[in-house]
Amino acid sequence: MSVRVRFAPSPTGNLHVGSARTAIFNWLFARHHGGTFVLRIEDTDQERNRPEYTRSILDGMRWLGLDWDEGPEAGGDHGPYFQSERLPLYREALARLRREGRAYPCFCSPERLEAVRQEQLAAKANPRYDGTCRSLSAAEAQARIDAGERYALRIRIEHDEPVTWEDRGKGTITFAPEMLDDLVIAKSDGFPTYNFAVVVDDVGMAITHVIRGEDHISNTPKQILIYRALGAPLPEFAHIPMILGADRSKMSKRHGATSVVEYEKAGFLAEAFFNFMTLLGWSPPDDSREIYSQQELVRLFTLDRVVAHGAIFDAEKLKWMNLQYIKALPPDDLYRRSMPFLEAIPGFPGPYGPAALRELVGLFRERMNTLAEITRHAEYFFQEPEAYDEKGLKNALKTPDLPAVVDALAARLATVEPFTHDPIEAAVRAVAEGRGIGAGKVIHPARLALSGRTEGPGLFELMAVLGRDRCVARLRAFLDSRPWESIQS
Ligand code: GLU
């Protein structure tokens, strides 16, 4: 039997980190087994659904490289793939269960049900339906329907057996009979309940493995009862642990960004994010390694390595991982993928052509936790420094006769040809020697004058990209504005 799994987001927001992880696990499982990955949109919550969220979920999945074999825009033989278009299928299943006597109409009013619930709670019993309408005869029920009474549909279950399943993520899970009752499968407006729709869809789409967040565990016994009523074979269930913030509470906005698109915009690489997410709640056979390509993960992914308990979202680790991926990008890729973030810098592209821009990006390869950081790192390539770092100025004053040194450097650089790393380095060292000072005493003030900063890429590379004219002009501007005079030493 070939594997069929599904990812079933509700379009009530952008693709959430937790949902993305569920999607990734399903996708990896499908690809590992050469199976089918189905995307189904659970858009029955009329008030909270928005078509733009469906779009953004699809975009988020594409960004992560999660291609689906059946679903919106892909088609397939088990459609429609939007729940809102599957109403006739739910109605048909409801009608069949009624015909077969596996479901019965319940006329109990919400007020009556609430009163029963309160009584049960007061008696410290589990609230459950007391079975009032269970024993109505077919004729009686029909008479009340004909008289225009509103009714829900409930499944008739056997009350004496627990519901138990071998969860592929959690081990054996059992719900005692007291926890279960004749659950509602259609509301009085005729619409199916959430659990009923999910099961009709999973049966209709021939889903073999239901892999989802552990927040759905309490739905599973109800769904199992629905499978039984429908006479459909059960799929395997695998519930995966919730994603937790650093304080071990359920991940929320308070812990940082919770939607995938925010990570994309912040300059995380999809492949780094994918790798990171896979390790949240799943552990590779060789857990001394952390960096895995998508292909490797497809090869290694099995449900028996899903971990049973909370997976902590460690934002620092994600940044570290992203940096590893950035460092490993081929130069052209790094350039191309940094471009949107470079373009955001006021003054872009300045005097730089593609070759210089490519070198510029390369300067920051080892320093970017995210691609977006280049916007801040590289600002001074496109704008004259507006101010000079104060500590840097204090430090620069340790250079004896600072103005003369900067002046000598400017004069020397004006003659360097070609204006590339090695000749630049030779010029800087010659200036230091000429004045009888260490190279650092030239390098630090020079960096400050050129960038306003005390840190950055190697000075000689930086100068080469900035170009001779800009270097000389900035050294002169530094001399003219005499910023060191404002520093009390
Ligand atoms: N639509 C549900 C959700 O977004 C998923 C249902 C399921 O996986 O069974 O949480």
Q: What is the pLDDT along the chain (489 residues), one digit of tens a residue?
A: 799 999 999 999 999 999 999 999 999 999 999 999 999 999 988 888 898 999 999 999 999 999 999 999 999 999 999 999 999 999 999 999 999 999 999 999 999 999 999 999 999 999 999 999 999 999 999 999 999 999 999 999 987 789 999 999 999 999 999 999 999 999 999 999 999 999 999 999 999 999 999 999 999 999 999 999 999 999 999 999 999 998 888 888 888 889 999 999 999 999 999 999 999 999 999 878 999 999 999 999 999 999 988 789 999 999 999 999 999 999 999 999 999 999 999 999 999 999 999 999 999 999 999 999 999 999 999 999 989 999 999 999 999 999 999 999 999 999 999 999 999 999 999 999 999 999 999 999 999 999 999 999 999 999 999 999 999 999 999 999 999 998 865
Atom of ligand 1 nearest to the CA of 198: 9
Torsion angle of alpha carbons 446, 447, 452, 457, nearest 10°? Answer: 170
Q: How far is the CA of 285 from the centre of ligand 1 (A)?
A: 28
Contact 22 CB / ligand 1 (< 6 Å): no
What is the identity of the amino acid at 313? Answer: F
Residue 6 burial (CB count, 10 A): 29
Residue 303, C-beta contacts closer than 8 angstroms, at least 6 positions apart: 29, 168, 169, 209, 211, 238
Contact 9 CB / ligand 1 (< 6 Å): yes
pLDDT at 329: 97
Q: How far is the CA of 487 from the centre of ligand 1 (A)?
A: 61
pLDDT at 310: 77
Range 95-101, long-range pairs (CB < 8 A, 24+ positions) = 97/153, 97/155, 97/185, 97/229, 97/230, 98/153, 101/156
Rounded to whole angstroms, the Cα distance separating 130 from 346 reads: 69
Ligand 1 atom 5 nearest Cα: 8
Mutation test residue for ligand 1: of 49, 216, 236, 237, the one with most atoms within 8 Å of CB: 216
Rounded to whole angstroms, the Cα distance separating 45 from 64 reads: 26
Contact 198 CB / ligand 1 (< 6 Å): yes
Q: How far is the CA of 212 from the centre of ligand 1 (A)?
A: 7
Instruction: Give the closest residue to 209 by CA, choosing from 32, 90, 82, 67.
Output: 32
Atom of ligand 1 nearest to the CA of 219: 9
Q: How far is the CA of 287 from the centre of ligand 1 (A)?
A: 30
Rounded to whole angstroms, the Cα distance separating 147 from 141 reads: 10
Ligand 1 atom 3 nearest Cα: 9
Rounded to whole angstroms, the Cα distance separating 3 from 112 reads: 45
Rounded to whole angstroms, the Cα distance separating 55 from 69 reads: 17
What is the identity of the amino acid at 467? Answer: G
Ligand 1 atom 10 nearest Cα: 9
Q: Which residues are the active-site residues? A: 253
Contact 483 CB / ligand 1 (< 6 Å): no
Instruction: Give the closest residue to 82 by CA, choosing from 39, 46, 52.
Output: 39
- Here the tokens at position 428 are 């800087």
Contact 43 CB / ligand 1 (< 6 Å): no
pLDDT at 55: 95
Q: How far is the CA of 8 from the centre of ligand 1 (A)?
A: 5
Q: How far is the CA of 9 from the centre of ligand 1 (A)?
A: 6
